[in-house]
């Protein structure tokens, strides 16, 4: 049996498994979207207000108060500033290193499972296209068996081929949209994390030894 015959035999198994695969990818993708949306909503804070409070405590030289403020905050950007405040006794260089490390961890936490969404968004249409190709092959087979006559089996195979493409697109579009939205949110939060970190470093460089040790 040559390669063409093998591929034809594989196609004759039908595209049903392709559609079930797309359904599975859709369910997993939806679960990730809901989990990430919940994470970003529950860790959301007013960055402007938080930054004003942080700056006020730093201007007063109250590192302990600033540290307590960041500990009570729930956002990833606050964790970055907290890492710098906890390392303030070692000077600006130590605080900067700690904040850089925490920034990387915060980004990793925010991007968790987003690679799956990106992969599904990029590849689901191709999976649907595979189902379409299989459907077309089966349609030609049905056409051959009916001696060139349009039959019910032929129309069913063509319909299945078109449905596979449609399902692939329906799976891909929400995944791509959610991935782009989450990436934009992450970018914005990292910008605020850098802003908080810059405030901490500005204070430490102005007074290298600080006015007290961080709590």
Q: pLDDT tens, 179-209?
A: 999 999 999 999 999 999 999 999 998 864 4
With respect to residue 212, please indicate whether it lies within any of the assigned structural domains.
no
Q: What is the DSSP letter of 212?
A: S
Number of domains making up the chain: 1
With respect to residue 213, please indicate whether it lies within any of the assigned structural domains.
no
Tokens, residue 77 = 């950007």
Q: What percent of the chain has pLDDT over 70?
A: 80
Q: What is the DSSP letter of 90?
A: G
The pLDDT, as a whole number, for residue 210 is 42
Residue 129 scores a pLDDT above 70: yes
Is 17 or 178 the better-scoring residue by pLDDT?
Answer: 178
- Entry pTM: 0.80
58-62 contacts at long range (C-beta below 8 A, 24 or more positions apart): 58/199, 58/200, 58/202, 58/203, 59/203, 61/207, 61/210, 61/211, 61/212, 62/211, 62/212
With respect to residue 215, please indicate whether it lies within any of the assigned structural domains.
no
Rounded to whole angstroms, how far apart are CA atoms 188 and 115? Answer: 19
With respect to residue 71, please indicate whether it lies within any of the assigned structural domains.
yes
With respect to residue 128, please indicate whether it lies within any of the assigned structural domains.
yes
With respect to residue 201, please indicate whether it lies within any of the assigned structural domains.
yes
35-44, 70-79, 127-136: segment of lowest average pLDDT: 127-136
Residue 151 scores a pLDDT above 80: no
Rounded to whole angstroms, how far apart are CA atoms 206 and 190? Answer: 24
Which ranges constitute the DSSP H helices of 87-151? 92-110, 114-145
- C-alpha gyration radius of the chain: 28
Domain of 135?
3-206
Judge whether 95 and 201 are in contact, CB under 8 Å.
yes
**Residues near 208 by beta carbon (within 8 Å), at least 6 away in sequence:** 91, 92
The pLDDT, as a whole number, for residue 17 is 77
- When pLDDT is averaged across residues 121-140 and rounded to a whole number, the result is 83
Residue 205 backbone phi and psi in degrees, to 5: -75, -30
With respect to residue 57, please indicate whether it lies within any of the assigned structural domains.
yes
Q: SS3 of 75, please? A: coil
Residue 12 scores a pLDDT above 90: no
With respect to residue 33, please indicate whether it lies within any of the assigned structural domains.
yes
Q: Which has the closest alpha carbon to 214: 67, 56, 50, 54? A: 67
């Amino acid at each position: 049996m040559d390669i063409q015959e093998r591929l034809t035999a594989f196609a004759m198994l039908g595209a049903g498994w392709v559609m079930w695969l797309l359904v599975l990818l859709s369910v997993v993708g939806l679960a990730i979207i809901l989990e990430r949306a919940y994470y970003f909503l529950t860790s959301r804070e007013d960055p402007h207000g938080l930054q004003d409070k942080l700056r006020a405590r730093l201007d007063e030289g109250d590192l302990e108060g600033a540290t307590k403020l960041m500990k009570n905050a729930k956002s990833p950007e606050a964790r970055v500033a907290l890492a710098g405040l906890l390392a303030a006794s070692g000077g600006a260089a130590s605080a900067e290193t700690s904040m850089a490390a925490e920034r990387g961890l915060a980004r990793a936490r925010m991007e968790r499972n987003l690679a799956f969404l990106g992969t599904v968004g990029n590849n689901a249409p191709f999976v649907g296209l595979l189902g379409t190709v299989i459907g077309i092959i089966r349609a030609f087979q049905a056409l051959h068996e009916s001696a060139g006559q349009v039959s019910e089996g032929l129309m069913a195979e063509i319909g299945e081929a078109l449905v596979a493409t449609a399902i692939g697109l329906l799976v891909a579009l929400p995944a791509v949209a959610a991935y782009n939205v989450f990436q934009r949110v992450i970018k914005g939060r990292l910008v605020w994390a850098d802003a908080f970190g810059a405030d901490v470093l500005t204070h430490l460089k102005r007074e290298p030894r600080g006015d007290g040790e961080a709590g």
